[in-house]
Structure formats: C-alpha cells, structure tokens
Structure 1
Amino acid sequence: MKNFLATLAILAFTATSAQAAIITELSDNFDSEGTPQANYAGFTNWDITEGTVDLVGPGYFANLCREALGDSCVDLDGSTKDAGVMTSKDEFAAGTYDVSFWISGNQRTGTDVVEFFFGDYVETFELAFSDPWELVERTISPSGPAPRFGFECVGGDNICAVIDDIEVKISAVPLPAALPLFGAALIGIGLLSRRKKATALRRG
C-alpha cells in the first residue's frame, strides 16, 4: 500500500513538474533587444521560423514605432523579399489566456495581411498602410499540446504591418490531468480500508 501511494505521489509530482517548464505568460515590448536593424534574428522571446523581420527603433525607422523616442517595434516583413513568421520560443501551458498587442499599418505604402496565431487559433488582419496603431485584445483557449504564439506576414515586398507591446497572461488554469486520477486513487484506497476494517470487526 505504501509503495502504491508513493508511486502515485511521484506521478503527480512528475506531471506538475513537466507543466512548470512551460510558460503561462509573456510580456515583450522589444525595447531590450539589440540594435535595431534589418533582418533581425536575435530576439529574446521569439524565433523567426520562416522569412525575415526587421527590428525597428532608434537609428532605424524609429518613426514607425508607437513612441518614436527610445521605443522599438517589429516590422513583420524583413528586407529579403521573404515575409517573416515570428513564433514564441516557449510553449504555453493548457488554459485560457488574456492576450493583447498593438498593431499598425506599415506607414509607407500598400496593404498588408497579417495572421496572428495561438496554437490552433488563427485570426487575420488586413491593414492599409495608413492605419494607425490599434490595441487588439482577445481571450483565447488554445487547444492542442503546448501551443505556441506568433505572427505571420502574408507577402514579401520588404514592408509589412508593425507590432509592439505584446502581453499574454493566463486567466484560467484547467485541472491538471494527474489530479483526478490521484483523487480517484485516494477514494479507492479509503473504500478498501473501510472494507478491511468492517471485515475485521465481523471476524472479531
């Protein structure tokens, strides 16, 4: 019996430990990145999984950002005629998330299409070049194991919509899968113990 309980405890601990390695929040305004430049790939929180993006800011198209003085942001189409896909380095735990980010038109010419994704959730934005900065807020419950978060520019003309100030924070955590199993096992152990006691009393 003791060995059985120990095994259950180890399983529950392992499940929660594995979950703890997956993030439940992300906040990024890009201001702590390196020197703004074309085809930037050294992001702290993001992988550029396809194409290229530009980190813009002081000394490099700073006027594109929400706060031109000292602020950095991301143009989702770099300077290689191959628009970028920007994906979070880390995966997110299962749950419901409050998501917000700022997005604007490219402030130069034409129209751009950007896909925002979080796991299997996908939303498309079409922005004219002159569209001002807009705050996007969503509550999303991404499905699938350990989803990632990101943006994709559909195009390849070296300019795309610009994003900034991303916030992702969990708002509701589902019951860990190991807990119902652990609870059911404890109930079973309790019933078994009662039966043994009842049997012992009858025999006595």
Structure 2
Amino acid sequence: MKSKLLVAALVAATVTGSAHAAPFFSDDFQSNGVGFNIAPSGWTVSGGTVDIVGPGYFPGLCAPAGAEKCIDLDGSSSDAGVLSRVFSLTGGNTYTLSFDLAGNRRSAGTETGTVTFGTSVLGFSVPATQTAYANLSLLFTPGSSGNYSLSFANDGGDNMGAILDNVVITVESNGVPVPGTLGLLAAAVVAGIAARRRRN
C-alpha cells in the first residue's frame, strides 16, 4: 500500500508541480561562415543588412576578444537590418529569451535598438566602447499557440552596430511535463513498482 501511495505522490508532484524550465532554442552563430551583409543560417534580415564577423572579418569584435563568431547588427551597407526568426510557440507556456550584447568597439557614443519577442519589447542601449558582453533577457507568454517572431533591430546606419551573440530561449511549461520530466516520471513509476514487488 505504501508503494502505491509513493507512486501516486510522485506522479502528482511531477504533473501538478511548479513550472519546469527546458531548453527550446540556442544559436551562438559558430556554424556560420563569416562575411559582410549576409544573414546567419535560419534567420532573415530585412530593411538593411547585418554582418557575421569573426576570423578574417573583424575578429576582435566578438566578446571576449578572440571569440570565434558573432553578429554585427549594423551591416556594411550603411543601413542596419532587422535580424529575425519565426518560432512555433505553445499558448500558455512562458518563454525566456536571453542574449549577449557588446559595443562595436570602433566608435564613440552608444548603440541603441529594440528587441521584439512576440508582443514583448525591450529597448537596449550599449556603450560602443563596451568590451564585455551584457546578458539581457525578455519574457513572452503567448495567449494562443502559433507562429511568433523574434527580432533584433539596431538603430542608426553607420556600419557599426551592437554585437550580438549567444541567443538562447528556454520554456517553462506551467505544469505540463516537458520531455525530460516525462522521463523522470517514468523512472519514478518503475522504481515504485519494483519496490512493491520486492515487498510482496
């Protein structure tokens, strides 16, 4: 009887417990070739251009200095583009976007722009001389399931934008077990059944 109660408690705790964070998406841009006025794989650029910088293309811009590849949000066309990507999201789940920004290190002043994730909007302001990444984050909980856009828009058009890297999205399932949690649930049930059989 005790083993049945243990299994029931484990199931209840897993299914009705607090939200479970799980990886959803990440891109550090390392799989891309470097170049001016090109879009990283899986992303689109509208209204202008971005650069993928790294070895042979301003390698010192990625933070920390010497990091392999990153995105200059103001490409080499004197017209900063909007870097975007579309995701299929589940209504009611909370998605947390995090990303790293640094200055362009080639001018004075401040780089400003806007990050949009679904209906959530975050303005950024990064000193051009900032050499270390600042980690920023933005939450979005869609009201219904569907396709939603993530975009990074740098203001200005002097070919020297904020430096973007390490874009990560995690999801909190708000009580619905994520795949990893389902595996733990199955293991708990099997362990409970085994314990019961040993006692019988």
- 3-state SS, counterpart of residue 40 of structure 1: coil
Deviation at 1:48, TM superposition (A): 0.7
Name 2:53's counterpart in structure 1.
56
Name 1:25's counterpart in structure 2.
24
- 3-state SS, counterpart of residue 30 of structure 2: coil
Q: 2:85 aligns with which of 85, 88, 107?
A: 88
Deviation at 1:138, TM superposition (A): 3.5
- 3-state SS, counterpart of residue 169 of structure 1: strand
Q: 1:66 aligns with which of 63, 67, 72?
A: 63
Letter of the 1:82 partner, please give it.
D
TM-score when scaled to structure 2?
0.68
- The answer to which structure has the higher strand fraction is 2
Q: 1:97 aligns with which of 95, 99, 102?
A: 95
Number of matched pairs: 150
Deviation at 1:59, TM superposition (A): 1.2
Separation of aligned partners in 2, 1:50 and 1:173: 37
Deviation at 1:91, TM superposition (A): 3.7
Instruction: Give yes or no for contact 2:111–2:128 (8 Å, CA) kept in 1.
Output: yes
* More divergent stretch after superposition (130-139 vs 71-80): 130-139
Deviation at 1:71, TM superposition (A): 1.4
Please list, as runs of the form range in 1=range in 2, the aligned pairs for 1:111-130 lying within 5 A after superposition.
111-130=110-129
Instruction: Give yes or no for contact 1:58–1:70 (8 Å, CA) kept in 2.
Output: no
Highest RCO, 1 vs 2 (Cα 8 Å, sep ≥ 6): 2
Please tell me the root mean square deviation across aligned C-alpha atoms, in Å: 2.1
- The answer to which structure has the higher helix fraction is 1
Separation of aligned partners in 2, 1:130 and 1:53: 19
Separation of aligned partners in 2, 1:159 and 1:143: 37
- 3-state SS, counterpart of residue 63 of structure 1: helix
Instruction: Give yes or no for contact 2:96–2:171 (8 Å, CA) kept in 1.
Output: yes
Q: 1:46 aligns with which of 25, 43, 46?
A: 43
Instruction: Please list every run of 5 or more consecutive structure 1 residues that lacks an aligned counterpart in the other structure.
Output: 1-23, 176-204
What percentage of aligned pairs have identical amino acids? 35
Separation of aligned partners in 1, 2:165 and 2:143: 25
